[in-house]
Structure 1
Amino acid sequence: MRKIYVLDTNVLLQDPNAIYAFEDNDVIIPAVVLEEIDSKKRLADEIGRNARTVARLLDGLRAKGRISDGIDLENGGIIKVELNHRLLGKVEELFVELSNDNRILALAMNYHLEEQTKTEPRPVIVVSKDTLVRVKADVLGLTAQDYLSDRIVHSTEMYQGYATLKVHPAIIDEFYSFRFLNISSLSLPYTLLPHEFVILRDELGTSKSALLKVSADGKKLEPLYLSNDPIWGISARNAQQRMALELLLNDDIPFVTLTGKAGTGKTLLTLAAGLMKVEDEHKYKKLLIARPVVPMGKDIGFLPGEKDEKLRPWMQPIYDNLEFLFDTKKTGDIDKILAGLGSIQVEALTYIRGRSIPGQFIIIDEAQNLSRHEVKTIVSRVGEGSKIVLLGDPNQIDHPYLDAMSNGLTYAVERFKAESISGHIMLERGERSHLAQLAADLL
């Protein structure tokens, strides 16, 4: 049976192509949604870009007829802009405020009541990424759903970058004897991906174990290339951190993604690896560190000063880690060090569009606050001889239209996980402090 989907504004601002995601059903866009999209189209960020994209898509559909009468889509569905949002009826009885959300719900209620008069009423479903809109719809007796078509993967299926296998101790002995294992000899029920790490444990319960890495061609297991020697004073404190350093210091892997809770060492490890590659080995000519300017909580508004002074509060987490690595003693010392080196650049992502970045070690911190389009824009800037590392915690998102399953970092991990030029590790154990680990787990 065909269904009627009523879309909230946030669905279209998150994914402009959502109008094509409902198969052969009716897609209703309330007129008030167009007004909200119109108010966003002048923004210079991702929301503004999506608002303009929605406007262009709808304008293109006008060539097929009056969109207020309904236009057939190629997937068999129908899209329609509905003007009947002023009859508030039951919505006004329960929710007095004349808000745009309530107008959307009133429209959906009007459709629902109209369908109930028919012999075979069609289901009317409100689609919104706003939790309270879905709660209000439920109060009104309407069916409501989150928009899930933009989700890359379910949380239980997120790629970790490593696997633990219980094997016969003879297999572990074979690895230590020959320094490799053919994956085909393990008879695994699933496929190991290039540069995925494997922890072998004795199935008989002894302490015998081994840490290996899948080769770039995905056919064999190899020993880790690096020892656990300190890098700029930083040593791996757990197995996942050692795996991360293996990827960060491997020049044959130009794309690395690291995820994990706060305090797991993502940024510190990456900065240490970048400094080693740029300052010690001179593999790259510059270390470029950038992060999106997305506030946690209410924005503090305009900041005084020149560009560098405005950016300093946003970039301060990066400077904190650099001060630790350079072991600075006084305030301002890190600025003098960076000015003297000239090979370390801390920048906001706002200025990366249109650039070509060859021969650099690029670190993108807080990448979970990027959309899929923004991640594509950033990674496509990478020039010949560069390495890019995306860092972030998908469970700490400050962007209003992204979540753990639909952000650009998760998208990049899933899309690149089978590629031989990329590697990924999910860090799990906090090493900042015992308090920080408890806060990440309990709060």
Structure 2
Amino acid sequence: MDDEKIIYILDTNILLHEPFAFLSFQEHDVVVPMTVLEELDSIKDRHKDVSRDARIAIRALEDTLVDATPEQVLAGVNLPQSGDNAPRGTLAIFNDFGLEQTAGSLSQNENDNRIINTAVHIQNTQKPRKVVLVTKDINMRLKAKGAGLAHVEDYRTDQLIDDIKFLTKGYHQFEGDFWESIKECDSETEGRTTTHYVSKSSVPISYINEYLIDDTEHFAGKVTGYDDERVSILDLGRERLMSKNAWGIHPKNIYQGMAMDALLDPTIDLVVLTGPAGCGKTLLALASALEQVVERGLYDKVIVTRSTPEIAESIGFLPGTEEEKMAPWLAAITDSLEVLHKQDENMNGSLNYIMDKANIQFKSVNFMRGRSIQNAFVILDECQNLTASQLKTIITRCGEGTKIVCSGNLAQIDSNYLSALTSGLTYIVERFKDFPGSTTINLNGVVRSRLASFAEENL
């Protein structure tokens, strides 16, 4: 065997996250412990989203190993070539049930421990080759290190950035006055809109619909197009952004102003709102939804959906209809509704009237697959806990005339298998950053209260 080829041992959650993950390791060798196949087998019959991924992974493994003898499966079967004359690795199944308990090894009673023991055994028997356990389970990575495994990694092939600080914010802030850095500019005015054409070298890396602001209280613009030489910037003006209004709500800072501009723009189909707790993501989305459904009649209804670890499991034991079952998890939306109507004489009456008038529907993520949502304003809250494939499932439901708002806080991920770098929210921010029909805004600044602001910064 070639000492330069790495041996990657895959945990079950890798194949659930990406069923064809074993094909992503190019010329290196991949080992799937028998315990992983057992776990896939137990998951494939559950009535959950992951059962589909388990079945796809099992079929993909079977297609690769279908013509191999038992001896070949244990030794390693060549993986499909990625290109002409490209080196290719092998896929092997390792019978970890045959491993004996040795001094210092973890108890064989738990599946995670058997997979870790497999990795340590292969590391000891295949020296000097590098052996890497690949798992999305953070605790399992810690246990593996403690058990003596030298290399443990997360699955990074679908990771689009190396550090969360590089995540696109959706705007660029210039130091000082924007116009001082511009040497040449052509401007066109049509009605109330003015577009500036400036040299591409005078504006840093920019994307379609990226906002440009500076430290003065005057300039605000949005990139509407670019080529190799020039960038076109729509002049928005700070005052105009700060005077935006949706359902009686006005922006409290320039970041909310940019977000509200995107939320109220009918040409934008996807708005991604990121930022800390208390920065106004849910309130702005809901106010913009009510404004455009009730006042402007641009959409027929508001659909609110979100995912939490509990929802991903079941909502079956709560009484009532789907809307009533969802109510505990959608309290953030009803809280925001109360804020919007706290001045009303009869707040409960107002809430019921508005929920009926705006046709607000609470839906579970579990029931979104297979639907086609037409002419609706969709709010997907807390989507930092969703994987890229779950977000794809929801976004691909959106038909003609539908606008979707994805909001989340990457500091509040509850999933065992997601980090800020691998969250679906990070994934869509990066994938859609140069799509003409989408905008991302990082709502930088807590406006909930000075208590919330201090907690966000110091806890």
Quick check: TM above 0.5? Answer: yes
Deviations 1:102-136 (A, max 9, x none): 211221222122224xxxx3122222222332223
Work out the percentage of aligned pairs sharing the same amino acid: 36
Which moved further from structure 2: 342-351 or 10-19?
Answer: 342-351
Which moved further from structure 2: 129-138 or 274-283?
Answer: 129-138
The answer on 1:193 being equivalent to 2:207 is: yes
**Would the aligned equivalents of 1:217 and 1:420 in 2 still touch at CA under 8 Å?**
no
Question: Once the 2 structures are TM-superposed, how far is the Cα of residue 347 of structure 1 from its aligned partner?
Answer: 2.1
Letter in 2 for 1:307: E
**Would the aligned equivalents of 1:319 and 1:334 in 2 still touch at CA under 8 Å?**
no
Following the alignment from structure 1 to structure 2, what is the Cα–Cα distance between the partners of residues 300 and 46? 14
Following the alignment from structure 1 to structure 2, what is the Cα–Cα distance between the partners of residues 194 and 185? 13
The answer on 1:70 being equivalent to 2:76 is: yes
Which moved further from structure 2: 172-181 or 133-142?
Answer: 172-181
Q: Secondary structure at the match of 2:206?
A: coil
Q: 1:334 to 1:309 in 2, by over 3 A?
A: farther
Following the alignment from structure 1 to structure 2, what is the Cα–Cα distance between the partners of residues 322 and 411? 29
The answer on 1:319 being equivalent to 2:334 is: yes
Residue from 125, 134, 141 that aligns with 1:134: 141
Following the alignment from structure 1 to structure 2, what is the Cα–Cα distance between the partners of residues 197 and 264? 18
Which moved further from structure 2: 291-300 or 430-439?
Answer: 291-300
Residue from 399, 406, 409 that aligns with 2:415: 399
Following the alignment from structure 1 to structure 2, what is the Cα–Cα distance between the partners of residues 391 and 334? 26
Letter in 1 for 2:247: W
Letter in 2 for 1:71: V
Question: Once the 2 structures are TM-superposed, how far is the Cα of residue 277 of structure 1 from its aligned partner?
Answer: 0.7
Q: Secondary structure at the match of 1:49?
A: helix
Following the alignment from structure 1 to structure 2, what is the Cα–Cα distance between the partners of residues 392 and 77? 39
Question: Once the 2 structures are TM-superposed, how far is the Cα of residue 307 of structure 1 from its aligned partner?
Answer: 2.8
Letter in 1 for 2:340: L
Q: 1:298 to 1:51 in 2, by over 3 A?
A: closer
Q: Secondary structure at the match of 1:68?
A: helix
**Would the aligned equivalents of 1:264 and 1:429 in 2 still touch at CA under 8 Å?**
yes
- 5 Å-filtered alignment, 1:382-393, equals 382-393=398-409
The answer on 1:232 being equivalent to 2:247 is: yes
2:156 maps to which residue? 148
2:5 maps to which residue? 2
Which moved further from structure 2: 400-409 or 151-160?
Answer: 400-409
Letter in 2 for 1:290: T
Which moved further from structure 2: 37-46 or 415-424?
Answer: 37-46
**Paired positions, count:** 432
- 5 Å-filtered alignment, 1:316-395, equals 316-327=331-342, 332-333=348-349, 336-338=352-354, 340-341=356-357, 343-395=359-411
CA RMSD between the two structures? 2.8
Following the alignment from structure 1 to structure 2, what is the Cα–Cα distance between the partners of residues 5 and 429? 42
**Would the aligned equivalents of 2:185 and 2:198 in 1 still touch at CA under 8 Å?**
no
Letter in 1 for 2:219: A
**Would the aligned equivalents of 2:293 and 2:358 in 1 still touch at CA under 8 Å?**
no
1:420 maps to which residue? 436
**Would the aligned equivalents of 2:184 and 2:198 in 1 still touch at CA under 8 Å?**
no
Letter in 2 for 1:238: N
Following the alignment from structure 2 to structure 1, what is the Cα–Cα distance between the partners of residues 452 and 315? 26
Following the alignment from structure 1 to structure 2, what is the Cα–Cα distance between the partners of residues 22 and 385? 41
Instruction: State the 4+ residue runs in structure 1 displaced beyond 6 angstroms.
Output: 172-178, 296-301
Following the alignment from structure 1 to structure 2, what is the Cα–Cα distance between the partners of residues 52 and 373? 15
Following the alignment from structure 1 to structure 2, what is the Cα–Cα distance between the partners of residues 156 and 339? 38
The answer on 1:265 being equivalent to 2:280 is: yes
Question: Once the 2 structures are TM-superposed, how far is the Cα of residue 332 of structure 1 from its aligned partner?
Answer: 4.7
Following the alignment from structure 1 to structure 2, what is the Cα–Cα distance between the partners of residues 316 and 48? 29
Q: 1:106 to 1:379 in 2, by over 3 A?
A: same
The answer on 1:112 being equivalent to 2:123 is: yes
**Would the aligned equivalents of 2:311 and 2:364 in 1 still touch at CA under 8 Å?**
no
Question: Once the 2 structures are TM-superposed, how far is the Cα of residue 412 of structure 1 from its aligned partner?
Answer: 1.4
Letter in 2 for 1:153: I
2:85 maps to which residue? none
Letter in 1 for 2:54: A
Deviations 1:384-415 (A, max 9, x none): 12211111112222233222122222211111
Following the alignment from structure 1 to structure 2, what is the Cα–Cα distance between the partners of residues 440 and 176? 43
**Would the aligned equivalents of 2:133 and 2:153 in 1 still touch at CA under 8 Å?**
yes
The answer on 1:87 being equivalent to 2:99 is: yes
1:125 maps to which residue? 132
1:442 maps to which residue? 458
Q: 1:52 to 1:442 in 2, by over 3 A?
A: farther
1:204 maps to which residue? none
Q: 1:344 to 1:172 in 2, by over 3 A?
A: farther
Letter in 2 for 1:158: L
Question: Once the 2 structures are TM-superposed, how far is the Cα of residue 31 of structure 1 from its aligned partner?
Answer: 0.3
TM-score after normalising by structure 2: 0.86
**Would the aligned equivalents of 2:19 and 2:56 in 1 still touch at CA under 8 Å?**
yes
TM-score after normalising by structure 1: 0.89
1:100 maps to which residue? 111
Unpaired runs of 5+ residues, structure 1, are: 202-206
Question: Once the 2 structures are TM-superposed, how far is the Cα of residue 4 of structure 1 from its aligned partner?
Answer: 1.1
Letter in 2 for 1:152: L
Following the alignment from structure 2 to structure 1, what is the Cα–Cα distance between the partners of residues 223 and 143? 50
Deviations 1:62-87 (A, max 9, x none): 32314334211124111111103442
1:12 maps to which residue? 15
